[in-house]
Amino acid sequence: MPLLLQLALAVAVAVAMAGTATTTTTHTRFYMHDTVTASASGGGPAATAVRVVRGAAAAALPGDAVNRFGDLYAVDDPLTDGADASSAAVGRARGFYMFASRTDSALLFSATMEFTAGVHRGGAVSVLARDAILDEVRELPVVGGAGVLRGAARYGLLRTHSFNATTNNAVLQIDMYLTV
């Protein structure tokens, strides 16, 4: 059989097999509890986001007395199935966010959402995105998955469910649309 014909046959078989691979598309909603300031009385949740780098004083953000360009926070935030902190835990978001704009409240957000309960237990998805925190809806590109979500792709939509400007604590609603 001529080499060109063998190559064409191999490509045709590969294309046919790729078309038979099964993918699953799923939607899941969960809430991320970002606690920057723990309760002074000790009765509230412990801090789950810690500033590890402080931007220069000259890099204050317009209209923001707390944060500066270059502030970097490490996070280990709980994920729950409801907006209330006492809702059932479904996992943790581990990573960082950094104030990455000199002119507005926009973050560079990188995290792995590790699921410890529910349908996606044993799986994780990683996101890397610009998060313009004052926008109503922000998009989180999914850059990969692991475990039962190995090879995950698509995106998440992030909304601020609640925010306390005094403590900088927030609850974020995340709707993930995944193809696995």
Helices (H) and strands (E) counted in the chain, each on its own, are: 1, 9
pLDDT of residue 45: 77
pTM across the whole model: 0.84
Mean predicted confidence (pLDDT) in 129-149: 96
pLDDT, tens digit, 9 for 90 and up, residues 8-66 = 555 555 555 555 557 788 999 999 999 998 876 666 678 999 999 999 988 988 888 88
Mean predicted confidence (pLDDT) in 135-150: 97
Residue ranges per domain, the chain? 23-179
Task: State the Cα–Cα distance between residues 108 and 128, nearest whole angstrom.
Answer: 7
Q: Which of 19-33, 124-138, 142-156 has the lowest mean pLDDT?
A: 19-33
Out of 2.40.50.100, 2.40.480.10, 2.60.40.10, 3.60.20.30, select the CATH number for domain 23-179: 2.40.480.10
pLDDT of residue 17: 54
Q: Which of 15-29, 94-108, 142-156 has the lowest mean pLDDT?
A: 15-29
Alpha-carbon Rg for the chain in angstroms: 21
pLDDT of residue 23: 78
Average pLDDT of the chain, as a whole number: 89
Residue 130 has pLDDT above 90, yes or no: yes
The string of DSSP codes covering 12-60 is HHHHHHHHH----EEEEEEEEEE-SS--TTS-SPPP-EEEEE---GGGB
pLDDT of residue 62: 85
Mean predicted confidence (pLDDT) in 98-115: 95
